Amino acid sequence: MEESGFLKEHKITKTERILLSKGKHPTDMRLKIYKYLKRKICVDSLNEMQKVFIKKNESNKTANKTTFYRTMKLFKKKA
């Protein structure tokens, strides 16, 4: 895989490499959720995961919730 631009400027982590190999850009939310799921023996409910990943800041709550659900949908699709 050829690395360009931003990716050449920093060392790519194993998690980033996995996401890139699936054709997905390693966004902050994707990296956090992937690492969280990888550590879990038993996966929590979506409601429990929401509490971990969705900030309670009302001005940004919708964006965080949307990003969370899009990421979960992506992981389900790529699994």
Who has greater pLDDT, 5 or 59?
59
Residue carrying structure tokens 């799921």: 37
pLDDT band at 7 (very low <50, low <70, confident <90, very high): low
pLDDT tens digits, one per residue of 8-62: 567 889 999 989 998 999 998 899 899 888 888 887 888 888 888 887 666 666 7
pLDDT band at 4 (very low <50, low <70, confident <90, very high): low
Look up the pTM and report it.
0.70
40 Rama sector, left if φ>0, alpha if ψ -120 to 50, beta otherwise: beta
Residue carrying structure tokens 């850009």: 25
Helix (H) or strand (E) holding 32: helix 28-39
